[in-house]
Structure 1
Amino acid sequence: MSANAPAFDQRYVRELPGTYEHVRPTPLANPHWVCWNAQLARELNVPFDADAEALRALSGNGLFAGSEPVAEKYAGHQFGVWNPDLGDGRGLLLGEWADANGKAWEFHLKGAGKTPFSRFGDGRAVLRSSIREMLASEALHALGIPTTRALALVGSDEPVRREQIETAAMLTRVTPSHIRFGHFEWFAYSNQPEQVAALVEHCLVHHFPNSRSAAEFFTEVVERTARLIAHWMAYGFCHGVMNTDNMSILGETFDFGPYAFLDATIPDFICNHTDAQGRYAFHQQPGIAFWNLQCLAQALSSQVSSDDLKAALNRYADTYNDHFLKLMGERLGLATVQENDQQLISDWMHLLASERRDFHHSFRALADRAPDDWAQLDDDAIDRPAFQRWRSALAERRQNETDQGIPLAQARNPISVLRTHLAQAVIDDVKKGSVASLEEYLLALQSPFERREDWQRWSETPPIDYQAAPLSCSS
């Protein structure tokens, strides 16, 4: 089926008038394909390939049939400060596509040019940040972490100024919904309770089939968010800019900017160079997510009673803790989590942090050996007695499990890992005109537990003298 076949619906536009502005994309000059996510295209059963017609539509030089692009209006708390002047400043919702199972996916074009909400921005995305988002979203998805996905990346020779002159790009992002906490905040703060109610109803009908009221909807948002943050913390992911306008109502990882996965285990790691106070440091993420949920609760106060809002918020801590312990237990080969396992997991994290050991390599080193062989790892520890005591405790605990501890641990601890220095090497290659490393890294991240000799470089830890610099929001 060609790219111009009638495929897109406009459900968001139809059902939520007053929440957006109609905008045509600003075409990219001299567009070219950088990356096509064939795996995702197959999953969604999209009716087009990476052909010339699709290139036109995904570079702003044309439109898919049925597409009616809009820029959504929202607001948010940025670094804890209320900002009403937000909205899609460089992205456009193209429409919704239903996959073979009837599930609707919104297609969003990032870097599509100026909108009424661009403020002083140019409305463009750069190649560097677009590559990073494509890699990150696919890496997280393969680890089982809820996230938006990246379908296509188009490049251009059009110059864009950030910290320096770079080239423009457009990324096609897909997710069932782009509604953020900030959507509700904007309409609540601007005294439009009818729009808050319309947003809730839209979410109930299309995205929360198990919830029957605004109170149940908020409760499910709390639980989804708690599970998402537990996933981030269990796999060492630091988002970097957890403003409420960057929080998905679906509990997905949303709006990739200065993100980073941990290399060394540094609990107070900061990946955003504008975050001078460390508000969004790695270890702050569970608390910040709860703070953001409190903002959402306030925005929903016209629809949900204060008692129901409090009851929902009270579910956050237990949901987070239960999910975090489950994930961490599985990474250590424990199919079930028992009462004393919390101390075992806490001691492991303390060992990793006190010696700044590599977060991912340390887990995988355990997973690749039977408990009888963990003594081989003693030389990696600075505090050998502490590690020996801990590994003995874990080995004893594993004896009470089934014999599936090794395959479970190997299925939960990635071999290929998204690291800042590897992503930068890929970006450098693409800028030089070669997409081979990008295509290979993407495949490795989409199958992170598969060991292949030709993917060995994607499992390498950073050089001993390497220290990742904090990244900017344009990253």
Structure 2
Amino acid sequence: MSLYIPFHNTYARLPERFFAQQAPTPVRAPKLLAFNAPLAASLGITGTDDTTRLAQVFSGSVVPDGAEPLAQLYSGHQFGNWNPQLGDGRAVLLGESNGYDIQLKGSGPTPFSRRGDGRSWLGPVLREYVVSEAMHALGIPTTRALAAVSTGEDVFRERPLPGGVMTRVASSHLRVGTFQALYARKDVEGLETLMNFAITRHYPDAQTPTEFLAAVIAAQAELIARWMSVGFIHGVMNTDNCSISGETIDYGPCAFMDGYNPMQVFSSIDRNGRYAFDNQSEIIVWNMAQLATTLVPLMPDGEAAVETFTALVHDMPNQIRSHQTRLFAAKIGLTDAREGDQALIDDLLDLMAKDSADFTNTFRSLSAGSASDQLIDREAFGAWERRWQDRLQSEPNDPQTTMRAANPALIPRNHRIEEMIAAAVEGDMAPFERLMAALATPFTDPGDFADLTRPPMDTERVHQTFCGT
């Protein structure tokens, strides 16, 4: 059976000014490195036994029947600075299947490439594949990885590097920056069309711009709280990397923390810490304020709209705190909210920050009664632990069960990802495959994968991550 993707493309039916029709650029020698067969099946894709055909299609060398490839237009604030013309500079949306976008990343130049080559080297392709699938296994809304292909061609960054193409699946690729592009052009008709498209696709209960904005804010508030509950740092929370659907999108210089540091930054381009771990809950509010601005022209009374939208944005920190309190309470075994729980959480985080305790291992160790091994100041931890044990006496649910469901044993640690990439560049995909197997069940006991729970030694520590463009 030949490869079949049941395309039903709705974005391509929008006005042509929303995108540029653009076919992917073929590559010299595509080779399939990874393919997500369960995800493919959920999309209705059949005939996936021919790996040569999969490599051709998911490298962009062959456009499958029913695809209508295009590059999407968007703008955005990048590190707070307005850029009026962005768009998919190295990505092509093939089309939609079973209501999900199928997009190639690293598929060659588009009209939005801004003098870039439109390509990706293999490292960021495999990083995004691993991290996005790990996030899915953690239960965090995210884009998914369908395929990774090596191109047989080098791309040039600071030196020649092997090229790769990733196939990404998303409930859509609509961004805050998509709305900003039309707002900047004073295209009110386009804004209304885009909002109605987003409502139909993501928030069918919304009837007005106010309800739409409230729905996006609610989705983003929970998403960022979930990021922080597992120590995830996106690294580049520009408005063009902020999804309307509330999914994690654009895994560039992302990372999971090892030692807990509220102001941890890994991204090589975040020189001032704008997107540091603790700042993420503030930046998402800023991003939602930019979305709110774009919706004002759709309201009959602009002055009243500003007042209404401002109230929604100003309430967002309360939503984020509520989600964070619930999620972090579960991490210490609490499900029945009580006065003083937030102080208990904050005091533990303060101890962890003081000792740079490993974020993942400290929380995972609580249920095993060995968390003191993670902290240097044993006396201070002992005092906290006594308060915590007293609080657990009034908890109606089993704390160990709660904690084991809330605290992963395994995350995609930076040094393991770098090891995996280095091996893959040399043609060894075994570390990639082992990481994928381990991270598929992050909340179970690691067993044979116990070595992957180890924090990096000083010589293994990753200080910077890169987006790959």
- TM-score (norm. length: structure 1): 0.94
SS in 1 for 2:236: coil
1:224 deviation in Å? 0.9
For the Cα contact (< 8 Å) 1:7–1:64, is it kept in 2?
no
Are residues 1:139 and 2:138 paired? no
Q: Please name the residue that 2:403 is paired with.
A: 409
Q: Please name the residue that 1:79 is paired with.
A: 79
Of 451, 455, 461, 2:445 maps to 451
Give 2:325's aligned amino acid. Answer: L
Q: Distance in 2 between matches of 1:81 and 1:343?
A: 37
Q: Please name the residue that 1:199 is paired with.
A: 194
Q: Distance in 1 between matches of 2:247 and 2:435?
A: 23
1:50 deviation in Å? 5.2
The superposition leaves residues 404-439 of structure 1 with CA deviations (integer Å, 9 ceiling, x where unpaired) of 211121122111211110001111111121212211
1:168 deviation in Å? 1.0
Which residues in structure 2 correspond to 1:274-285 (within 5 Å)?
A: 274-285=269-280
Which residues in structure 2 correspond to 1:186-335 (within 5 Å)?
A: 186-304=181-299, 305-335=305-335
Q: Distance in 2 between matches of 1:359 and 1:423?
A: 18
- CA pair 303-387 structure 1, distance change in 2 beyond 3 A: same
Q: Please name the residue that 1:167 is paired with.
A: 162
Give 1:454's aligned amino acid. Answer: D
* Identity within the alignment, %: 38
Give 1:196's aligned amino acid. Answer: L
Q: Distance in 2 between matches of 1:412 and 1:338?
A: 19
Which residues in structure 2 correspond to 1:96-115 (within 5 Å)?
A: 96-98=96-98, 104-115=99-110
Could you tell me which runs of 5 or more consecutive residues in structure 2 were left unpaired when the two chains were aligned: 300-304
For the Cα contact (< 8 Å) 1:48–1:54, is it kept in 2?
no
For the Cα contact (< 8 Å) 1:89–1:123, is it kept in 2?
yes
1:33 deviation in Å? 0.9
The superposition leaves residues 67-122 of structure 1 with CA deviations (integer Å, 9 ceiling, x where unpaired) of 01000011000110100120000000110101xxxxx1110000110000001100
SS in 2 for 1:46: coil
- CA pair 465-439 structure 1, distance change in 2 beyond 3 A: closer
SS in 2 for 1:357: coil
Are residues 1:422 and 2:416 paired? yes
After the TM superposition, which of the residue ranges 43-52 and 357-366 deviates more from structure 2? 43-52
Q: Distance in 1 between matches of 2:410 and 2:49?
A: 26
Are residues 1:431 and 2:413 paired? no
Q: Distance in 1 between matches of 2:171 and 2:265?
A: 30
- CA pair 39-7 structure 1, distance change in 2 beyond 3 A: closer
- TM-score (norm. length: structure 2): 0.95
Q: Distance in 2 between matches of 1:417 and 1:287?
A: 24
Q: Please name the residue that 2:302 is paired with.
A: none
Q: Please name the residue that 2:10 is paired with.
A: 11
1:167 deviation in Å? 1.1
For the Cα contact (< 8 Å) 1:16–1:199, is it kept in 2?
no
Give 1:337's aligned amino acid. Answer: A
How many residues of Structure 1 are paired with residues of Structure 2 in the alignment? 463
Q: Please name the residue that 1:101 is paired with.
A: none
Give 1:108's aligned amino acid. Answer: Q
